[in-house]
Amino acid sequence: MAAANDESAARAREHLRGLVGAAEALGCYTVVPKHFRVLQRLADHGVFAAGAIVVGTHAFLGYQNLLGVRWADAGSTVDLDFADPGRNVSLALAPDARVDAHSAVDSLRMGFVPVKQGTRYVKPDEPDFDLDWLTVRTRQGDAPVRCEALNVWLQPLRFMELSLEAPVPAALMSSSAAVVVNLPRPEVYAVHKLLVLTERSDDQASKARKDLAQAAALLACFVERDPDALREVLHATRERGPAWRSGLDKGLRRLRGPYADVHRAIEALA
């Protein structure tokens, strides 16, 4: 029986390899091998089944396959960002299942070292290849939050809850395999990026420009394909309160100039 199961698994892997190879040949986005290795190990340990969400530039790049587009300037990223919404999703797991993101990272034996109270894993030999674990900032402030469900510490960030509500499943591929992860809804991610860039300090100008470029690309896509969904997210964001309205308006104003056509299209949605 074990031999039959092994043979069946080998056939499934070979079939998947053929599918993702065909998808890559057709122009689908694939994750660089070292990043995919991390994603696959976390998936194998049940981290995404437990509710963790891929955020940041890997989510943006993954939207290319989800939406059937290719970004003219997709940019590059050298880190991986994950977030947990703090919801109790234990019912989605087997009663005796153990989800341990820390052990998953450690088992890679890639040299990751936890810093910032475990909210970030760094590689001393690759200073920019970080794994960041994020969550929603509450009245408790910026102090790291222990996530027992994943066995990691999470760094709270302002506005993060927007990207963590009602995530969507998506497949991220390498040239020979694929993993199913959770991503923020793309129209929500776009609005979140408008909010995030207004929080950037002066020494994070390059990150703010990347935030703006990603937001503009997704906003332009939704203006054309699903303006009602975008209008709904913009309205819901404004309804969250004065700080949210102010941040959104500041972010939208930043579209003027470099992305004036997108700014005009957003104004026309109102």
Q: Are residues 207 and 258 in the same domain?
A: yes
- Total number of domains constituting the chain: 2
Q: Are residues 24 and 92 in the same domain?
A: yes
Q: Are residues 61 and 48 in the same domain?
A: yes
**Residue after which a domain boundary falls, among 184, 203, 231:** 184
Q: Are residues 73 and 151 in the same domain?
A: yes
Q: Are residues 255 and 224 in the same domain?
A: yes
Q: Are residues 137 and 3 in the same domain?
A: yes
User: In terms of residue numbers, what domain contains 147?
Assistant: 1-184
* Distance of alpha carbon 220 from alpha carbon 218, whole angstroms: 5
Q: Are residues 4 and 134 in the same domain?
A: yes
Q: Are residues 154 and 198 in the same domain?
A: no
The answer to whether 58 and 80 have CB atoms below 8 angstroms apart is yes
The answer to whether 47 and 150 have CB atoms below 8 angstroms apart is yes
The answer to whether 160 and 171 have CB atoms below 8 angstroms apart is no
Q: Are residues 108 and 148 in the same domain?
A: yes
Distances (CA, A) of 70 to 73, 75, 99: 9, 12, 34
Q: What is the pLDDT along the chain (270 residues), one digit of tens a residue?
A: 555 555 665 665 665 565 666 666 567 889 999 999 999 999 999 999 999 999 999 999 999 999 999 987 756 667 899 999 764 333 344 444 568 999 999 999 999 999 999 999 999 999 889 999 999 998 878 899 999 889 999 999 999 999 999 999 999 999 888 999 999 999 999 999 999 999 998 888 999 999 999 999 999 999 999 999 999 999 999 999 999 999 999 999 999 999 999 999 999 987
Q: Are residues 209 and 168 in the same domain?
A: no
The answer to whether 134 and 54 have CB atoms below 8 angstroms apart is no
* Distance of alpha carbon 168 from alpha carbon 172, whole angstroms: 12
pTM for the full predicted model: 0.89
